[in-house]
Amino acid sequence: MVNILIYHSYKELSRAAAEEIASQIQRKADSVLGLATGGTPEGVYDELIDIHKRQNLSFRSVVTFNLDEYVGLGSDDPNSYRYYMTKRLFSHIDIPKDQYFLPDGTNENLLQECEDYEKLITSRGGIDLQLLGIGHNGHIGFNEPGTPFSTKTHTVTLKQQTIEANSRYFHTIEDVPKQAITMGIESILNSKRIILLASGKKKASAVKRLIEGTVDESFPASALHLHPNTTIFIDRDAASLLDD
């Protein structure tokens, strides 16, 4: 069962999702948040910084875990997700440096890295609120179509469609890493609450399949129907193909 909220604009959607996250932190100062990168959550991070600055929302006790990271990119690489998160959110709020985590894509032992990441999430009490975007093919995190719903944090080889979609951030398509570490579908479903964001016409068919389609491993985001507390925040463009 998923709840659906439709907003007029990307700006309104971003503000509403940020307010949801802020009230989670107000209810529980030491909330554990699951975070995503990509274009969609940028507005949410801007709004969270605004709430932090104007309304003194503190992240001092918050712990965060990002969904994924490219294999081979270190923290000083502008295309790494650690770099993105630092630039877009962490450097603007009061979260201590030892309270935000991303998988380490430079670890030579990737299997160990995945196992340790999963254990770390569990040791912090699990994720209270997980933020997600959605790929055109229904991927969540880097869980591509066909990923079993029972997967925990693991290493993946990216599909060509995902490499192409993400190449907009790189000089050339050849620079896009071929592998990534991602929380698995089961790791995501273990979160107590999930918010999925989708904005724009380009996401309309994925949103339609998510909301009106069947639960099927060929469309990873459909696993969210198995979760007890998921809300989908979409704007009018992303909702434009939905049946009335």
Q: Which of 47, 144, 235, 237 is catalytic?
A: 144
As measured in angstroms, the least distance from the Cβ of 202 to ligand F6R is 8
Q: Tell which positions 82-121 bind ligand F6R, by CB under 6 A.
A: none
How many Cβ atoms sit within 10 Å of the Cβ of residue 24? 18
Size of residue set near ligand F6R by CB under 6 A: 13
Q: Tell which positions 225-244 bind ligand F6R, by CB under 6 A.
A: none
Tell me which stretch binds ligand F6R (CB under 6 A): 127-135, 214-222, 223-231, 233-241.
Answer: 127-135
Tell me which stretch binds ligand F6R (CB under 6 A): 11-19, 53-61, 135-143, 222-230.
Answer: 135-143
Q: Phi then psi for 203, rounded to 5 degrees?
A: -100, 0
58 residue type, one letter: S
As measured in angstroms, the least distance from the Cβ of 84 to ligand F6R is 9
As measured in angstroms, the least distance from the Cβ of 68 to ligand F6R is 5
136 is known as an active-site residue:
no
199 residue type, one letter: S
Q: Tell which positions 28-67 bind ligand F6R, by CB under 6 A.
A: 36-40, 67
Counting contacts by CB under 6 A, is residue 194 touching ligand F6R? no
Tell me which stretch binds ligand F6R (CB under 6 A): 45-53, 99-107, 139-147, 205-213.
Answer: 139-147
Rounded Cα–Cα distance for residues 232 and 1 (Å)? 11
227 is known as an active-site residue:
no
Distance of CA 98 to the CA centre of its chain: 20
Nearer to ligand F6R, 15 or 139 (CB): 139
Counting contacts by CB under 6 A, is residue 153 touching ligand F6R? no
Q: Which of 47, 66, 68, 128 is catalytic?
A: 68
Counting contacts by CB under 6 A, is residue 188 touching ligand F6R? no
Question: Where do contacts with ligand F6R occur on this chain (CB under 6 A)?
Answer: 36-40, 67-68, 133-135, 139-141
Catalytic residues: 68, 137, 139, 144
